Amino acid sequence: MPELPDVVVYVESLERRIVGETLERIRLGSPFLLRSVAPKLEGSFGRRVLELRRIGKRIAIGLDGDFWLVLHLMIAGRLRWKPSGAKIPGRLGSAAFDFSSGTLLLTEAGSKKRASLTAVLTPDLASLDPGGLEPLEADLAAFNERLRSANHTLKRALTNPRLFSGIGNAYSDEILHRARLSPVRLTSRLEAEEVERLHRVTVETLEEWLVRLRGEAEKRFPEKVTAFRPEMAVHGKYGEPCPVCGSRVERIRYASNETNYCPRCQTGGRVLADRSLSKLLKQDWPRTVEEWEASRGTTRPS
């Protein structure tokens, strides 16, 4: 799912292309995309684009007359910028937004169509905001207060859109790895120094990725948005060596979600129980890096 850095770069790239332009029409390729009844979608046709905003992981396009189009890409939704009148691509195409400057295509891979388009007027725009704290704008005191507002695991706290805005599965893995904190550590048990470190690392990680993605978007529209990048330390790197200590990156799987972490850097060498495998293996599930390596016949990295 596109997260804060990805969505910010989407917004900035669109600003350069559609602010001041006219939305001529919207062509829907999927009947499941539109999630609102009023105002009518056709009411946006012929309106000029005034501004764009990021609302959590949503992209909000503001038109004159207090009319807003809000896109939530969910897991598989992606945007493409094409010449005017571009065709909606086959089974992946969900919508085409025809502006006077070009066409914005929304595609969504997979059979589960979760991406959404909502048309709202300005007074109703706030209802789409989950209310999460903006991590790049919050000082340490605000970050600490929000983090400790409920007793959750760090992974859950960082990815809860009502607590923090725009952080999802990928960047939470990267943040926690850099902060050397376990994804299952409870927020109520953090020391003050650990909260300070987490706040600093959260800002550093998101800002570094913003710089990287902005650099890529200078030459072309960001069409290849992915949660799995070779530059990432642990996210999507299950089974690969940690770039810091060389230990094998492990994971916790639950439903369709996956948490990636380094046992040696983050959990004191303890391998966290995978909900599916540990239930099956019970007492045979390895508890430490050493036990895991021994069970696989691997050598402990020096």
| Per-residue pLDDT tens digits for 142-194 | 999 999 999 999 999 999 999 999 999 999 999 999 999 999 999 999 999 99
Question: In this structure, how many other beta carbons lie within 10 angstroms of the beta carbon of residue 299?
Answer: 8
Of 128, 150, 171, the position where a domain reaches its end is 128
Q: Are residues 45 and 163 in the same domain?
A: no
The pair of structure tokens assigned to 6 is: 């990805």
Tell me, what's the pLDDT at 23? Answer: 98
Give the separation between CA 15 and CA 44, rounded to whole angstroms.
Answer: 18
Note whether 146 and 81 are same-domain residues: no
User: What pLDDT does residue 257 have?
Assistant: 78
Distance CA 236, CA 227 (A): 8
Q: Are 2 and 228 contacting, i.e. CB atoms less than 8 angstroms apart? A: no
143 and 284 share one domain: yes
Of the three residues 95, 128, 161, the one that is the final residue of a domain is: 128
Same domain, residue pair 190 and 246: yes
The CATH number of the domain where 26 resides is what? 3.20.190.10
Same domain, 92 and 235: no
- Residue 39's pLDDT is 97
What is residue 298's predicted lDDT score, i.e. its pLDDT? 44
How far apart, in Å, are the Cα atoms of 188 and each of 111, 161, 222? 40, 19, 39
Crossing angle of helices 192-217 and 4-18, in 10° steps, is 30
**Are residue 153 and residue 267 in the same domain, yes or no?**
yes
Do 170 and 203 belong together in one domain? Answer: yes
12 lies in which domain range? 4-128
**If you write DSSP's letter for every residue of 121-157 in order, what string do you get?**
EHHHHGGG----B-TTT--HHHHHHHHTSS--BHHHH
Residues 37 and 56 in one domain: yes
254 and 203 together in one domain: yes
- Of 106, 128, 150, the residue at which a domain comes to its end is 128
- Sign for the pseudo-dihedral over CA of 105, 79, 35, 74: positive
Is there a single domain that holds both residue 199 and residue 295? yes
**Helix axes 140-147 and 192-217, enclosed angle (nearest 10):** 110
Q: Whose structure tokens read 């492990």?
A: 250
Q: What is the DSSP string of 204-259?
A: HHHHHHHHHHHHHHTTS------S--TT-SSTT-TTSBPTTT-PBPEEEEETTEEE
What tokens does 222 get?
A: 């960001």
Residue 262 pLDDT: 97
Assign residue 183 the CATH number of its domain: 1.10.8.50
Q: Which residues of the chain have pLDDT under 70?
A: 255-256, 274-302
Specify whether 141 is located in the same domain as 222: yes
* Residue 184 and residue 301 in one domain: yes
- The tally of domains found in the chain comes to 2
